[in-house]
Chains A and B, each alone.
Chain A
């Protein structure tokens, strides 16, 4: 493929534990207005936005057809609107396809998740399992993650100390990001003494429940200059689904992530992922996932996640300078949050955490329990 898709603008609100003072429409409208202001884009039938790709979920919104409630605030007035009901990074992958197909010049991507509203931890995540075998066992994303953590820690020599290090670093990085959730600093001792919520996962090993919304304007290569002087190019996308039953998977190895990354890298012509990217953002819902996903994406060697942390891999490869999912993003929007940080870095707008001369980045998102579905997107300045 020789055409590229540009990200012309990004917008976000601050990640917060409970945005009780605003409905989700209001949260998203702030992002919508910001995109309009930054780009001057219109909804003109010939030259403007004709299709909006949203990301939300009926279960989180407790509304059937959750995008129905968004049409008022996303510009879907006699224009197209299509909702991706999975991690938002797939909304970007689909948005790319809409533009590369020639069907659309512009795609507005808008995602929201008010995770504080439902019982996201136990109820929503339990509903993601089949009602016959897994749901009655009480499986949810946390205890599925715990099983994966156990398997992966054994395989890759990952210790409690490594996990503590990942959490402390996430909080430190999050403190440099004014849109990140305000969690306050923690010490390694705090992490290792925090309550065990699902052995071996402790309270501080998991991402906190968070409310957030995000917007991006995508555009075809030919017209990107109309909306920005600093386009960031989406150069590759790949996703892969793993099997459903946890027992059917090798939980300690990211089969799906490797395949998703390989597809994205092929499309973008990336040969050496460990060296080629200046910035990497991984969707670490739990601390053990940061080294695990790094292995899957070829940033760290297979089975050596522990050593990778010891050798300073997270710093050298500029991994999750935003604070990552671990610092707090709602679960549906992890991949969009990761991509947004990459865009800010490539535009030189990452403030106190800016990587000098950042030119290439990679972002990642997951959907489902213990990373059943992975998607990877590559970006260039």
Chain B
């Protein structure tokens, strides 16, 4: 038995996303979940009776509901079904997809509904994230999700002017994509001419991380339905296959000095392992789209290098030459990405959902116009954790 060799193939057969917004005051939590579940069931042409198992996840301290899957049964459809609750911080949505992949492949369940959500309006996001740090050692240092590491590193390596331009260019590209996606929480209509202005005038958060670079705090939910190969072919015209997933966490404290083996990010480690075991030699050529969990523009640029195993400034060039735009060589986040909408417990699942929609060819106004056969989707969370997925149109790998 090899790592990644699944007992049976698993297909994505239904996808539902709510509208993402800063305030979903028109719905409570189960109602919001229900919107996504309803859409996923309709998308698959299934009823809730066709679902064997429901997987639920978010971070309970954001909304201060303990074991929210109990109350959410009203909207999730878990009543009378097997159900699991998994949560891993920002990676939660990815963990839910990985769990659904495992649960279906195991043969224990034929159809699994996974639901990720967050209603950040009902809590205090920065307070909530600060609260993840160790109360003795790190909490006083933690500033929510705001960090300046990526900008310091890139300015040191590429010079202030080039690094700042690349980060803002990335930001504007993401906004241009967000403007195409009707579900976006934030779509400003930023123009290239505003670049210099934004670099200098957007309110600074920490160091060179400015408000415009940072992701939003959103309300929203995402639901996806997964089925075994036989079932998936019956249910969907174009099931999207989960070829493989990898989950890489690391310690909260031991790696602070960053001098332990392997001295690289979990993103690069995950990418190397996943490509190696799937025989993918040149990821930049292989994949047709990448939905990346990019919490802010500086990280977005930096992580391109890790996920595509690039060296030097190859990743900066991709941004500068606008190759990451929806019609470029490697479209990144045609959905607008995390900067456009970040309902945390759903965010990583939205990456997989959006990548799958691109493969199906029905993403809507932000559909890539070339055929999309191979997609990559990433999750980010915790203290630099990664879940990474390869999605395929055909079962021919």
| Residues of A participating in the B interface, judged by any CB pair closer than 8 Å | 1, 45-46, 50-51, 57-59, 62-65, 67-69, 71-72, 76-86, 90, 93-94, 96-105, 124-125, 127-132, 220, 222, 237-245, 255-256, 259-260, 263, 267, 367-369, 372-373
The segment from B15-23, B73-81, B214-222, B299-307 that touches chain A is: B73-81
Q: B2 to chain A: closest CB distance in Å?
A: 8
Q: B70 touching A79 by the CB < 8 A rule? A: no
Do the beta carbons of A1 and B107 come within 8 Å of each other? Answer: yes
B54 within 8 A of A: yes
Contact B251 A76 (CB under 8 A): yes
Interface size class of B (residues with CB under 8 A): 35 or more
Query: Given A76-B250, A237-B108, A244-B74, does the pair A84, B66 have CB atoms closer than 8 Å?
Result: no
Which of B54, B84, B131, B135 has most A Cβ within 10 Å?
B84
Q: Given A69-B252, A71-B382, A77-B250, do A84 and B86 touch, yes or no (CB 8 Å)?
A: yes
Q: What are 17 inter-chain pairs, A to B, with CB distance below 8 A?
A: A63-B61, A64-B59, A64-B62, A67-B89, A68-B89, A69-B252, A81-B88, A84-B86, A85-B67, A99-B106, A125-B66, A127-B64, A129-B71, A240-B82, A240-B83, A241-B54, A242-B80
Residue among A85, A97, A104, A241 making CB contact with B87, cutoff 8 Å: A85
In the complex, A45 Cα to B261 Cα: how many Å?
Answer: 13
Closest CB in chain A relative to B44 CB, distance in Å = 21
Instruction: List the B side residues contacting A78 at CB < 8 Å.
Output: 248-250, 262, 266, 269
Give bound CA distance, A239 to B3, whole Å: 27
Find chain B residues with CB under 8 A from A260 CB: 82
Does the CB pair B86–A82 fall under 8 Å?
A: yes
User: Nearest B residue to A25 by beta-carbon distance?
Assistant: B134
Instruction: Please report the C-alpha to C-alpha distance between residue A82 and residue B246 in the assembled complex, in whole angstroms.
Output: 12
Contacts of B4 in A (CB 8 A): 103
Among B95-103, B200-208, B318-326, which stretch is in contact with chain A?
B95-103
Check A244 against B108 for contact (C-beta < 8 Å).
no
In the complex, what residues of A have CB within 8 A of residue B73's CB? 241-244, 372
A contact residues around B101 at 8 Å (CB): 101, 103
B257 contacts A by Cβ under 8 Å? no
- A45 CB contacts on chain B under 8 angstroms: 3, 273
Beta-carbon nearest neighbor of A80 in chain B: B247
- Cα A100 to Cα B101 in complex, Å, equals 11
Q: Select one of A63, A82, A100, A255 contacting B88, CB under 8 A.
A: A82
Interface 1/0s, chain B 218-254, versus A by CB < 8 A? 0000000000000000000000000001111111111
